[in-house]
Amino acid sequence: MNPQWLECPCGAKIVHQGELRLVWPQKDENQLYILCPDDSCYLKEVGYILLRRGGNEVRLNRVIFYPAFSSWNLARLGRERGNSLLKQLAKELMKRRVSWEDLGRPRHPSDL
């Protein structure tokens, strides 16, 4: 049977979105970087969450996985299964991982 989990090209398994770490390196940057669970990963980042700023608001726009990460998984899992797992991971990251403290401006999740 085909594997049912995503994997970083370095070999780190990503079964659950909680295994990924999010980093927002600069206050003015509009990206939250998504880091591989493995500290020694040669890729380090597997993608990022794009933010949209407007006035005093910061909203999540979309998740972008780097081609190195997505094509690796499409090759492993097949296009259909791979795409559906990537889409699911993106959805979970958008829903659950971004705390408003991360964004520097506390907001209620229902504002999204």
Give the span between the Cα atoms of 85 and 88, in whole angstroms: 5
Spell out the residues 6+ positions from residue 48 whose beta carbon is closer than 8 angstroms to its own: 31, 32, 33, 34, 63, 64
Tokens of 5: 């989990």
Q: How far is the CB of 46 from Zn ion (least distance, A)?
A: 7
Considering only 6, 7, 12, 65, the residue that binds Zn ion (CB under 5 A) is: 12
Binding track, positions 49-88, relative to Zn ion; x by CB under 5 A: ----------------------------------------
Residues that bind Zn ion (CB under 5 A): 8, 10, 12, 36, 38, 41
